Amino acid sequence: MTDPVPVAVLGARGRMGQEVCRTVEAAQDLTLVAAVDIGDELSSVADAGPLVVIDFTHPDVVMDNLRFVIEHGIHAVVGTTGFTAQRLDVVRGWLAAAPDVGVIVAPNFGIGAILSMRFAELAAPHFESVEIVELHHPDKADAPSGTAAATAHRIAAARAAADSPPIPDATTTELAGARGADIDGIRVHAVRARGLVAHQEIILGAEGETLTIRHDSLNRSSFMPGVVLATRQVAAHPGLTVGIDSLLGL
């Protein structure tokens, strides 16, 4: 039997971090060597000797964390949101100097959420209209969600590849925000309400029919199979991997 993979968790006292620590401790092939949160020294992560760092912190700090981890030759599984195309390019730049290091950045590790994004991408060119509604707990720092932004980018790319016409919208008078955010021409609406965890609807419309693709994360255990899969595989995937679709064969 091989030794368990040493894992450190950043954001360990947070909602996701606590769930990830419990999951790592319960997995026979993984071992938790550091659980770090705000106020702890990042150097304690390197001192603990992890093969993989899992980051669920905050969009404002995740880039500093990633640079530290990559510079120390540690693989990273990142669930923290806030990754723009520019940020991903910066990560690729750091990885160019550390070609053996693997980094997986995924806006959503829930298998159902990942599938729903794929379904939306497939459906979008076949419908005149498409809008996204994401619904989350009110303690969430970022809006719209990373998942919604990624879904919008993928839908827009699929529509562009299919030469889809612009989405119809006759709005000429608007209270700011009423039509949501515009991400690559796709309208994204964010709802925050106590009791919710993480939910998303992609509403597609054509003459005489609508299709609604809905995903619900009812608790944070929904993200754990994807996090564990990425943690097990990241060392075998040097460079930057965005999303875990490829690990799932999608």
Ligand X SMILES: NC(=O)C1=CN([C@@H]2O[C@H](COP(=O)(O)OP(=O)(O)OC[C@H]3O[C@@H](n4cnc5c(N)ncnc54)[C@H](OP(=O)(O)O)[C@@H]3O)[C@@H](O)[C@H]2O)C=CC1
Beta pairing partners, 198: 136, 217
136 is catalytic: yes
Q: Which of 58, 140, 153, 237 is catalytic?
A: 140
140 is catalytic: yes
- Nearest CB to ligand X, comparing residues 11 and 102: 11
Binding residues for NAD(+): 11-16, 37, 79-81, 106-109
d(CA 219, CA 161): 35
Q: Which residues contact 98 (CB under 8 A, 6 or more apart)?
A: 70, 71, 73
Q: Per CB under 6 A, does 81 bind ligand LZUJQKHR? A: yes
Whose tokens are 């606590």? That residue is 18
Distance of CA 21 to the CA centre of its chain: 18
- Choice from 5, 8, 16, 188 touching ligand X (CB under 6 A): 16
Say whether 214 sits in a helix, a strand or coil.
strand
Q: Per CB under 6 A, does 103 bind ligand X? A: no
- Choice from 13, 72, 118, 140 touching ligand LZUJQKHR (CB under 6 A): 140
Total Cβ atoms within 10 A of residue 5? 19
Sign (positive or negative) of CA dihedral 45, 51, 56, 59: positive
- Choice from 5, 8, 9, 11 touching ligand X (CB under 6 A): 11
Q: Is the peptide bond before 238 cis (omega within 30 degrees of 0)?
A: no
Q: Per CB under 6 A, does 83 bind ligand X? A: no
Instruction: Give the residue numbers annotated as catalytic, written as ranges.
Output: 136, 140
Contacts with ligand X, residue ranges (CB under 6 A): 10-11, 13-17, 36-38, 56-59, 61, 79-81, 106-109, 142, 146, 223
Contacts with ligand LZUJQKHR, residue ranges (CB under 6 A): 81, 107-108, 136, 140, 145-147, 198
